């Protein structure tokens, strides 16, 4: 049973528009959430994170929102650029400081 | 920058072969991890290690074992490879208290 789900396997967005990637989790004990980005033939790289005591964290064009009551987090990319085309994984931290990853969403930003 | 190096980019093995995947990190990280990535399933944890000679099972350890004789090196072993172990294998490391993982580039293993 997947505790972290990314229900959209892919997303296509026009350059300059907003990209919104979504992630749902089931375990209320998760206390820290992260987003990773993965290009083909490379390992995932850390993008942005948020603690469960916050509801928003911003870093340049990237903003992560956390809705604890809905057990939902989202990553907003504004404006989207072709170089943002990659697979995005959300991850949640739980007991023992371990991460559980979602299935990933492939983002395609069209010029 | 942290560097996590996986020895092979691509590997092709036959069913029943013993397979070794090697991973080396250069930042003196205490924790090291092996994940596999499959479409739609994301990254699933196979094994991890908090310190030299220590290992813990992850979510899907069946069919795998690991070795950590030195702090910088973490090996994943497939004792008898099977076709359902065809996958992308990712090694990662982090400090003992950090949340952020640093990943290698991955090894695409095909078992025929």
**Cβ contact B62:B55 at 8 Å:** no
A12-16, A89-93, B29-33 — which one is most confidently predicted on average? A12-16
Query: What are the strands, taking DSSP E only, across A1-111?
Result: 4-5, 10-14, 19-25, 32-38, 45-51, 56-59, 62-67, 72-77, 86-94, 98-101, 105-110
The mean predicted confidence, pLDDT, of chain B is 93
Mean pLDDT confidence for B67-86: 96
Least confident of A33-37, A90-94, B69-73: A90-94
Mean pLDDT confidence for A47-67: 96
What are the pLDDT digits (tens) for A82-94? 999 999 999 998 8
B104 touches chain A (CB under 8 A): yes
A34 touches chain B (CB under 8 A): yes
For residue B41, is pLDDT > 90? no
B45 touches chain A (CB under 8 A): yes
pLDDT at residue B95, as a whole number:
84
Mean pLDDT confidence for B50-78: 94
Residues from chain B that touch A6, judged by Cβ atoms under 8 A, are 42
For residue B1, is pLDDT > 70? no
Minimum CA–CA partner of B32 in chain A: A98
Determine, for residues A44 and B103 on separate chains, whether the beta-carbon distance falls below 8 Å.
yes
Higher pLDDT, B59 or A19: A19
Minimum CA–CA partner of B9 in chain A: A41
B residues 57-76 lying closer than 8 A (beta carbon) to A: none
Mean pLDDT confidence for B51-79: 94
A44 touches chain B (CB under 8 A): yes
Distance CA B103, CA B32 (A): 10
Phi and psi angles of residue A70, each rounded to the nearest 5 degrees, phi first: -95, -5
Distance CA B96, CA B94 (A): 6
b/e code A77-99 from CB counts within 10 Å (16+ = b): beebeeebbbbbbbbbbbeeebb
B43 touches chain A (CB under 8 A): yes
pLDDT at residue A15, as a whole number:
97
For residue A9, is pLDDT > 70? yes
What are the pLDDT digits (tens) for B96-112? 766 789 999 999 999 99
């Amino acid at each position: 049973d997947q505790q972290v789900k990314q229900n959209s396997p892919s997303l296509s967005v026009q350059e300059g528009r907003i990209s919104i990637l979504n992630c749902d989790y089931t375990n209320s004990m998760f206390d820290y959430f992260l987003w990773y980005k993965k290009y083909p033939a490379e390992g995932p790289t850390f993008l942005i994170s948020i603690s469960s005591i916050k509801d928003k964290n911003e870093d340049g064009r990237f903003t992560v929102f956390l809705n604890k009551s809905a057990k939902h987090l989202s990553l907003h990319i504004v404006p989207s650029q072709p170089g943002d085309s990659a697979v995005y994984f959300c991850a949640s931290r739980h007991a023992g400081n371990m991460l559980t990853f979602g299935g990933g969403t492939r983002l395609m930003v069209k010029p | 920058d942290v560097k996590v190096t996986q020895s092979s980019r691509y590997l092709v093995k036959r069913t029943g072969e013993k397979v070794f995947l090697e991973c080396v990190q250069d930042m003196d990280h205490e924790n090291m991890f092996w994940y596999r990535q499959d479409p739609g399933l994301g990254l699933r944890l196979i094994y991890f290690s908090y310190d030299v000679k220590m290992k813990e099972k992850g979510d899907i350890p069946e069919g795998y074992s690991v070795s950590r004789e030195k702090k910088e090196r973490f090996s994943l072993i497939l004792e008898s490879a099977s076709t359902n172990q065809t996958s992308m294998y990712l090694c990662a490391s982090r400090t003992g208290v950090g949340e952020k993982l640093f990943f290698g580039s991955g090894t695409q293993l095909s078992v025929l």
